Structure 1
Amino acid sequence: MQNWVEEAISKEHIKIYKCEQFSNIQKIGSGGSGKVYRANLKNHGQNIALKSFFDFNEATAKEIEHEIRLHRDVHFHDNIIKFYGIAQFDPENQNVQSKNCLLVMEYADSGTLKSYLKKNFNCLTWNDKCRLAYQLACAVSCLHNEKIVHRDLHSSNVLVHQNIVKLSDFGLSKRIESSSNTRSGCFGIIPYIEPKKLLNNQYSLNEKSDIYSIGVLLWEISSGRLPFYNESKEYDVALAIKIVQDLREDPTPDTPKDYIKIYTECWDGEPDNRPTIDQVKERLEVAIARTSVMTENYQTVKFQLLMSDKQEFKTSSSNNTSSNNTSHGDSSQIIQNFNKLNLNEIDLTT
């Protein structure tokens, strides 16, 4: 790892940052492999993220090298978190020399998709939800087009920056051509894991495994809830068995039928029945277009009815108040009827 990094730095493929270039370093999260810090990059006026690793050893060094190489191939995409370079210091004790390697990365101001949905879900329109789903699909499409399988998609590995999805954490990602030789353990969070992997630990995760996880994430975006969440109970083997036996979450009321069809096909128990990521993208594009038209029509009708009410009020003022009450009542009823439109009854695929 050291030789590869030193060579990459000398050829200016990777930028090296020094401790004194950062200020206001604060821990903002931790996971199974390390911690994440927010810091201010001096002289640039921007926040960045520093990703550290537990137990820095040869295996960790290879993981870091692997993640850097993958980021180098996909860093151009707007929905993938940017990789800026590396640094070597201890964020929690900057006065002590450290050989620990930190990844210097783009900072996502809204945190994980999990926390973003928890905070903002009640403010999201269906158009907003479809756009989040579409951006996620675009990020995974970029990976698959570069022959990369993520293998660990869940709402804590998806970040949000200025309301835009940013895919992160490539620690478990594998090149598609080499993934068939991978026989690692069953990593990840149970509801998002390929059922075939839950059933058989030797199953090689692939592109269609990412699609399964996408299905669960699309449901999560539509519901604002974690899959199979029980505050008093952790995910366990019993849940894994039920998922293998085709247990899935129920659609949230008022979810458009075409959106339900997309994520239910994604989480189909048979990988061959699942769509490709590009097919998911195309169908979400249609959903966005239709929901945008519906929103525009809704706003137009409300505006027209409002103007009609105003005109009726002016007319009635010169005549009598009873006619005004009648016409206003008619307009209000129209608005109420329009508001009662059930998105679930509208087929956006036609």
Structure 2
Amino acid sequence: MNDIHISVNYKEIILCDLIGRGSFWDVRKGILRTNGQEKEVAVKTINGYFEENVNVLRKIQKQKNIIHQNIITLYGVIQILSNICLIFEYADCGTLYNFLHHSDKDVSFNVKLNWMMQCAKGMEYLHNKNIIHRGLKTKSLLLFNEYSVLKISGLHTSTEVTTINTEIVGTLCMAPKVKTTNGDCNAKCDLYRYGIICWELMSEKKPFYELDNMHPSDIKTKIDNGRRPNINDANIHDESGCIGHIIEKCWDQVPENRPMMQEICVLLPMNPLANTNVDFKEIELGELIGHGSYGIIHKAIWKLLDAKNISVAVKIIKNRSQNSVQFEKDVYKEIQNLRKCIHRNIVTLYGASKDSSNNIYLLLEYTDCGSLYDFLHHSLKEVSFNVKLDWMLQCATGLEFLHKNNTIHRDLKTKNLLLFNEYRTLKICDFGRVKEFANYSSDLMESVCYMAPEVYVNNENGKYNKMCDIFSFGIIFWEVLSRKKPFYEFNEMQPVDIKTKIINGIRPNISDANINDGSGYIKLIIEKCWDHTSENRPTMKELNDLLPIFPLYPLDYQLVKFEELQLVDVIGQGSYGDVHKAIWKHPNTKEIFIAVKMSKVVRSLTEKIMSAKYVFREMQNLKKCIHPNIVTLHGVTKDRDNQFCLLLEYADCGTLYNFLHNSDLDFEFNRKLDWMLQCATYLHRNQIILLDLKTRNLMLFKKFRVLKICGYKIAKINSELVGTIRYTAPEIFVSTYHKWRCQ
């Protein structure tokens, strides 16, 4: 005992009522008097002084730094005669077991969900410290603060001071095949117990209550053979089946199939932010902050069970239906669908509530940066062209996620795009079909301007599909770049007249958009998005592939006029296209020979921009690499097919390949060594991998004395196979093969 820290004087403790008992211990309520103050505590006495108790206390010493809001606090240890006593914080609301089975109190599904989240958080903390509870059950879960806080106990003594025979009730929560307290118990065993506890909480029944007349050993045999509590007994208010799925995965017969506690904390509806049913009493409405397609919008405070308040946006859908029950059912069914849409560019739907008039209240993530509409039209702030492009990429990313999940926005506009994180993050809101239940039309004019023409056909009940969202995306793209309202020139017209113009092919004036990419490709994207024929519009996946290219655009490069170039001969060919020898007739300098690297002629929007991507990436690399042994980039131009071309230093002596294989010239050994030295001088020192290093990409200058490298790109580890096969290292083939097999 000399190494056990006795941290509390027994004279400071007054023992009171017995509140719990086990085979080798009992728990009493007590009063701890320290520094003239009294505190209610729980005193757990381990009866009898023997070596096993000392081992337990040594373990407690190692765990004295366990501090978490969902783990019971150990105040100290005392010795009374031959007994060791542990001093814990006192649970004023008792155990979860007593609440479920010996109490008339009732709590909402939301509260139960909150308890399980707190339990999962506490267990996640323990598992991260490589601590296994071993005895997790509802008797070891304590309730505090008017039943709002749950904490885990039983950790410090656990099963070390009991046996399988003295704690036979606990075996009903024990994982299959773990038959002794010294069995192969790991974190997955705690997960099994957690699943049983979840079922017990949701059903408010004791595990395997239907087998009460059986001997515990027979029940254990059934558990080992796969018997579980009836999942249908659990009163789970979750149409998605998420919680039922979590329970069944936790008690899976195969330990490897059970999730980690960290996964539970992600899967379980957050505390309780993702739960559909929110008690109306928890919502404190604040100022009116707007009107939307659902209805009016208030800023509000959501008073959570753990005494934390968060700001939310509350959208109120007035119940205008004659069938209130069906109205509520339809709305909540759609809300269940929206809850599944969890993405960094989609506004979080926390849940829903209803008032005494059955009006629906949607609780949404709140932003103090407002909507994209407000920024564009009611703000004096300025952002760069690249920030605007980044917003559109984030919008495209969120929409692609929705479309992959078979969700169509149906009312995409700048009022439904919200800005967060000091205007850096864009998130989509008001998507899906909930707005159909609101019949709110005060913003009809704005919505009309974003609607695809096919929406207005067939008596204005045309079929809405993903391509309609693409049309709206094109209008928004124009609006972001122009900072003008769509069809502003027709603001005196009625919505029905705007519809007619859209149906007849009228679109916003593309010249209003301040497109400074120097290419016209963004203009082409916008015009493709709002194409009258939906089949001609790109998909969201295509847009997500194309938009990240534009930060590469050479905005700091002066475009060379193609008319200043006189093409002479084709001097090289590759997968990208042709290389021409040309004369550059620059107005302010003498004529010089250059090499013009031209892409193959392509027609589709995607191919054009992917071709541009190749050119710009090579250009970015060349700009970073100024060296006597790197081919010089003179500039960039666009050919008559509106495709980018690189203007490169012309190699008057051709390629090393041509010298070696198509020339009668020969040089001494030292010249060849010098070429290889020049080739080796720069690239790897600057962490550049050529990927396609070959003699065709090594150029000779100045009467064959100077060698320069061209045609490279900065590679990534495990990059895709790019190089010519004859020159490619074997590990590239192996990596590519495995990557292909994985796909």
TM beyond 0.5: yes
Tell me if structure 2 keeps the 8 A contact 1:23–1:41. yes
Question: Which shows bigger deviation, 246-255 or 214-223?
Answer: 246-255
Q: How does 1:71-86 map to 2 (within 5 A)?
A: 71-75=338-342, 77-86=343-352
What's 1:38 paired with? 299
Structure 2 counterpart of 1:49: 313
Q: Distance in 1 between matches of 2:643 and 2:414?
A: 26
* Pairwise CA distance, 1:219: 0.7
Tell me if structure 1 keeps the 8 A contact 2:413–2:447. Answer: yes
1:284 equivalent in alignment to 2:551: no
2:393 corresponds in structure 1 to: 134
Q: Which residue of 2 aligns with 1:143?
A: 402
Equivalent residue in structure 2 for 1:247, among 465, 482, 506: 506
CA distance 1:285–1:32, shift in 2 (3 Å): closer
Equivalent-residue separation in structure 2 for 1:349 and 1:273 (angstroms): 24
Correspondence for 1:269 = 532
- Number of aligned residues: 278
For residues 283-312 of structure 1, the C-alpha deviation after alignment (integer angstroms, 9 at most, x for no partner) is 11111343xx747x99xxxxxxxxxxxxxx
Structure 1 counterpart of 2:481: 222
Q: CA deviation at 1:21?
A: 3.5
CA distance in 1, matches of 2:282, 2:552: 45
Higher helix share: 1
Q: Which residue identity does 1:46 align to in structure 2?
A: I
Gaps of 5+ in 1: 90-96, 175-185, 299-344
Which residue is equivalent to 1:70? 337
Aligned pair partner of 2:354 in 67, 80, 88: 88
Task: Please tell me whether residue 209 in structure 1 is matched to residue 473 in structure 2.
Answer: no
1:216 positional shift: 0.6
Partner Cα separation in structure 2 for residue 44 and residue 231 of structure 1? 49
Could you tell me how far 1:113 is from its partner in structure 2? 1.7
Query: Where does structure 2 lack aligned partners over 5 or more consecutive residues?
Result: 1-234, 244-267, 270-274, 436-443, 559-637, 646-743
Q: Verify the 8 A CA contact 2:372 2:417 in the aligned structure 1.
A: yes
1:258 aligned to which of 497, 521, 535: 521
Q: Which residue is 1:197 aligned to?
A: 455
What is the CA–CA distance in structure 2 between the aligned matches of 1:240 and 1:48, rounded to whole Å? 35
Retained in 2: the 8 A contact 1:152–1:173?
A: no
CA contact (8 A) 2:280 2:354 kept: yes
One-letter identity of the residue aligned with 1:54:
K
CA-to-aligned-CA distance 1:45-78 (integer Å, 9 cap, x gap): 5321111111253454244224312222212x01
The structure with the largest alpha-carbon Rg is 2
- Classify 1:229/1:193 alpha carbon distance in 2 versus 1 (closer, same or farther; 3 Å): same
Secondary structure at 2:485 match in 1 = coil
CA distance in 2: counterparts of 1:108 and 1:189, whole angstroms: 22
Poorly superposed stretches of 4+, deviation over 4 Å? 9-13, 345-350
Q: CA RMSD in A?
A: 3.3
Asked if 1:169 corresponds to 2:169, the answer is: no
Q: Give the Cα–Cα distance (whole angstroms) in 2 for the partners of residues 219 and 121 of structure 1.
A: 19
1:8 to 207, 213, 238: 238
Identity of aligned residues (%): 25
Q: Residue in 2 aligned with 1:321?
A: none
Amino acid in the other structure paired with 1:285: P
Which one is further off, 10-19 or 256-265? 10-19
Question: Which is further off, 106-115 or 215-224?
Answer: 106-115
**Compared CA separation, residues 67 and 224, structure 1 to 2 (3 A):** farther
C-alpha deviation, 1:107, in angstroms:
0.6
Distance 1:235 1:32 in 2: 19
The answer to which structure, 1 or 2, has the higher relative contact order (CA under 8 A, 6+ apart) is 1
